[in-house]
Structure 1
Amino acid sequence: MTCLKKEKEIELSLYNDVGTLASYNKYIEATKGDISVIYMDNAATTMHKPKAVIDAVVAAMSSMGNAGRGANEASLSASRIIYDTRERLAKLFGAENPKQIVFTMNSTESLNIAIKGLIEPGDHVITTMLEHNSVLRPLYEMEERGAKLTIIKADKQGNFSLEDMEAAITPKTKAIVCTNGSNLTGNYVDVAAVGEMAHRHGVLLIVDASQTAGVFPIDVQKMNIDVLCFTGHKGLLAPQGTGGLYVREGLTVQPLLSGGSGVQTYNKKHPVEMPTALEAGTLNGHGIAGMNAALAYLEETGIDTIREREQELMWKFYEGVKDIPNVTVYGDFSTKNRCAIVALNIGDYDSAEVSDELLTEYGISTRPGGHCAPLAHEALGNVEQGAVRFSFSHYNTDEEIETAIRAIEELAQDEE
């Protein structure tokens, strides 16, 4: 086994948030195109998809026309698949009407639509240190345009206080924007409690469900969620380039884009009826067909079954590494109800070094670096080091978990 090399200075480069160019080259050399490596980077994207998802995309590529752009069978077939997918998503999230489901490319687009379409100069917005840059950067933009932003601090376990959040509400507070699950620590955020509080104060709740959609039960009406933003390529097991948002009936979100809609062609303004109001241009019909198949798989398998299996694997890994000397594990593991994520570091090694070694010596794919969650790293105290994130899928096996535990044991011994 190649020993880890401790470096005092890590060169900053284009690749410093996910590793280095050398890391990428090592990956190519180690795998030689073999995707049978032990994949533990599911919080970034679920690489292993149900076969039905792949088959659905292939079939759509050879048969699907442009939904809403014609009366031919190819166009009508696309329209039927897209509408059926809206219905499945509405059922999954407890939406009152399928027309309140809007398709986007990913959570980033959904969050930009929600934040920029609801927040105006003079509005006050509350968020937390746990957020992904897909939340933070649009909020910083709105702050530059005249909105006021309050960021609720998180402790060293990556938790924030609901009492602190409620104390931050003012008469000018327009919305609370928060994650349902941290992509760094895996901590689950009780958005139902946040929703009850927001509803009581007449404040909108915008939820980033990137890490929880398709894994944890979400009922937008019961949880008082006004806007739910989600992506397809993670827990929903759908293709990349798919995602969406739910918008509560009666709430108007100003569109981020305007253009072709397939209806009201001679109107100078973009249609205001949902979901067309927030869907300008041709949708990713091929990807949505894959999402439709993924949702059918989730319905048949059961998200509770999937979540319980992922948590079982996560807890097995956590119990195997938490007491290894020189290993630091981040996050709150005092409750079972958490995302299947374990982030750790070994001694003072840079996280990219550890991730490289896991890949080249053990064939384990992980994610090092900053995870697009800068404030969360501030709370945890590992801004410069980053963290090595293991994130599990129900497609992982017990044998793979045992291999990963053994790898951390051996690498930690090298640090001594």
Structure 2
Amino acid sequence: MNADQLTTIRRQFPVTKRMLYLDSAHQTPMPTSVREALEEFIAEGHQMAGPKPVWLRRVEQARARVAAFLNATSSEIAFTKNTSEGLNIAANAVPLQAGDNVVLIEGDHPNNAYAWLNMKRKGIEVRFAKLRDGEIANAQTFAPYIDERTKVVTLSHVSFHAGQVHDLASIGKLCKERGVYLVVDAMQSVGVIPIDVKALGVSVLAAGTHKGLLVPQGLGILYVADGLDELQPAYLAMSSMARPPSDYIARPDDLDVRKDAGRFEFGNVNLPDLHALSASLEMIEDVGVAAIQQHVTALGDCLIEHLDRLGVRLVGPRDRGQRNHIYVLGLPVETWATYFARNDVRVSPERGGIRVSFALFNSADDVDRFAEIVRNGLKEGSLAKFANMD
């Protein structure tokens, strides 16, 4: 991303003039083009009582765009409310029987864990693979936990609490060899890291859109690989059916569901956010996800250099390829969160300290400003006393 591009992008995010926003792993601020798309949708509903056929055509256009974004087909994309709904859809769709097991990473996002732990009531065993702090998960992480009754391996592509970028390619290869479904939480990676679901061997992918995809909460995307017809929806609506009745009278003897991912969509989708998603994808595609990844990783390089000079510990991985846009600093939340808020810096409290996360609109100047604020904080006795230094 060149300087002119970055300047243009930053104009889309007025938050950059109001505060130092380093919290996109929590949620991204709304760009102007997304706000305008939402306003246009509201105006159409207000002035024309909703041109629903037009809106539904746009939904399919958005579906095709999301599919291309993931190297999928439109038939493999469904829309949900959020990541958690998508993961629960997957947990209930996989044909699990009592005695089968599912393997997760210990300490991964709890909403993924709860989706599968809920299956324990059906006699499903949930196994937790252990990782050391900052370690990257790969095929070797999961292999010791997989046996003939393992049906699913599931994990986040990028860890929310230390920023590791896990090795999905090797995990996907292992799952294919063992005949195991790979279910991926891509909440922290979609829109920030290029994702090729085919190359990675993903069976099901779930993600919300309020982080790397720049859309307000309330919309999720669900990828279900074609051919996995044995994955069946736990809930049915008319939109799920292979032959929805034109007279709107349910046929008890015709309960065949669609063969595509649409069998997991239930009723009306989030039309406003889908309009917003089309606008945000246009911006992201203009820059390119690979360029966004390169940009945020370079910002991470700059941040790590500052942290080393300041003597502040980085909780997660340091090596390129193992990290991307999320960085956790060993600064105790109890003292530093208030300090950052006082200085108009938006960050998140995390397990190991303070989480800093970058997006396409952040700049090297942002990192330098942040480092200076940390430096000033370290001069304050009450803060320096508690800093987790190298």
In the TM superposition, what is the alpha-carbon distance from 1:267 to its structure 2 partner?
3.2
Find the aligned partners of 2:141 and 2:364 in 1 and give their Cα distance. Answer: 40
State the TM-score, normalizing by the size of structure 2.
0.85
Letter of the 2:324 partner, please give it.
C
The answer to whether structure 1 residue 296 and structure 2 residue 262 are counterparts is no
Residue 115 of structure 1 contacts residue 139 of structure 1 at CA under 8 Å; is this kept in 2?
yes
Change beyond 3 A, Cα 1:210–1:398: same
Q: Residue 227 of structure 1 aligns with which residue?
A: 204
The answer to whether structure 1 residue 114 and structure 2 residue 90 are counterparts is yes
Find the aligned partners of 1:75 and 1:228 in 2 and give their Cα distance. Answer: 28
Q: When you count helix as a share of all residues, which structure comes out higher?
A: 2
The answer to whether structure 1 residue 207 and structure 2 residue 193 are counterparts is no
Change beyond 3 A, Cα 1:62–1:336: same
Q: 1:267 aligns with which of 241, 251, 264?
A: 251
Q: Residue 133 of structure 1 aligns with which residue?
A: 110
Aligned to 1:368, the other structure's residue is in SS state: strand
Find the aligned partners of 1:339 and 1:188 in 2 and give their Cα distance. Answer: 7
In the TM superposition, what is the alpha-carbon distance from 1:143 to its structure 2 partner?
2.4
Find the aligned partners of 1:345 and 1:153 in 2 and give their Cα distance. Answer: 22
Q: Residue 388 of structure 2 aligns with which residue?
A: none
Change beyond 3 A, Cα 1:306–1:136: same
Q: Residue 182 of structure 1 aligns with which residue?
A: 159
In the TM superposition, what is the alpha-carbon distance from 1:256 to its structure 2 partner?
4.2
Aligned to 1:111, the other structure's residue is in SS state: helix
Letter of the 2:118 partner, please give it.
E
Further displaced range: 108-117 or 201-210: 108-117
Q: Residue 56 of structure 1 aligns with which residue?
A: 37
Q: 1:409 aligns with which of 362, 367, 375?
A: 375
In the TM superposition, what is the alpha-carbon distance from 1:358 to its structure 2 partner?
0.6
Residue 130 of structure 1 contacts residue 158 of structure 1 at CA under 8 Å; is this kept in 2?
no
Further displaced range: 131-140 or 405-414: 405-414
Find the aligned partners of 1:73 and 1:267 in 2 and give their Cα distance. Answer: 30
Please give the per-residue CA displacement for 1:302-340, whole angstroms capped at 9, x wherever unaligned. Answer: 111111111111221121013424x32111112245221
Find the aligned partners of 1:408 and 1:127 in 2 and give their Cα distance. Answer: 36
Q: 2:317 aligns with which of 332, 340, 350?
A: 332
Change beyond 3 A, Cα 1:305–1:136: same
% identical equivalent positions = 25
Find the aligned partners of 2:176 and 2:137 in 1 and give their Cα distance. Answer: 19
Aligned to 2:314, the other structure's residue is in SS state: strand
Q: 1:101 aligns with which of 54, 77, 80?
A: 77
Q: Residue 395 of structure 1 aligns with which residue?
A: 361
Q: Residue 18 of structure 1 aligns with which residue?
A: none
Find the aligned partners of 1:242 and 1:35 in 2 and give their Cα distance. Answer: 27
Find the aligned partners of 1:345 and 1:52 in 2 and give their Cα distance. Answer: 36
Aligned to 1:228, the other structure's residue is in SS state: strand
Find the aligned partners of 1:161 and 1:83 in 2 and give their Cα distance. Answer: 35
Q: Residue 92 of structure 1 aligns with which residue?
A: 69
In the TM superposition, what is the alpha-carbon distance from 1:188 to its structure 2 partner?
0.6
Find the aligned partners of 1:352 and 1:388 in 2 and give their Cα distance. Answer: 10
Aligned to 1:294, the other structure's residue is in SS state: helix
Residue 180 of structure 1 contacts residue 208 of structure 1 at CA under 8 Å; is this kept in 2?
yes
Change beyond 3 A, Cα 1:206–1:106: same
Aligned to 1:250, the other structure's residue is in SS state: coil
Find the aligned partners of 2:64 and 2:58 in 1 and give their Cα distance. Answer: 10
Change beyond 3 A, Cα 1:64–1:185: same
Please give the per-residue CA displacement for 1:118-164, whole angstroms capped at 9, x wherever unaligned. Answer: 16332211111251112111122112431111111101323345324
Find the aligned partners of 1:185 and 1:308 in 2 and give their Cα distance. Answer: 19
Please give the per-residue CA displacement for 1:53-93, whole angstroms capped at 9, x wherever unaligned. Answer: 2211111122259xxxxxx9812111111000110111111
Letter of the 1:103 partner, please give it.
F
Q: Which runs of 5+ in 2 are unaligned?
A: 1-14, 386-390
Find the aligned partners of 1:159 and 1:396 in 2 and give their Cα distance. Answer: 26
Q: Which runs of 5+ in 1 are unaligned?
A: 1-32, 66-71, 371-385
Structure with more relative contact order (C-alpha pairs < 8 Å, separation 6 or more): 1
Find the aligned partners of 2:292 and 2:350 in 1 and give their Cα distance. Answer: 27
Residue 186 of structure 2 contacts residue 207 of structure 2 at CA under 8 Å; is this kept in 1?
yes
State the TM-score, normalizing by the size of structure 1.
0.80
Q: 2:54 aligns with which of 72, 77, 82?
A: 77
Find the aligned partners of 1:237 and 1:194 in 2 and give their Cα distance. Answer: 28
The answer to whether structure 1 residue 354 and structure 2 residue 336 are counterparts is yes
Change beyond 3 A, Cα 1:336–1:412: farther
Number of residues of Structure 1 aligned to a counterpart in Structure 2: 356
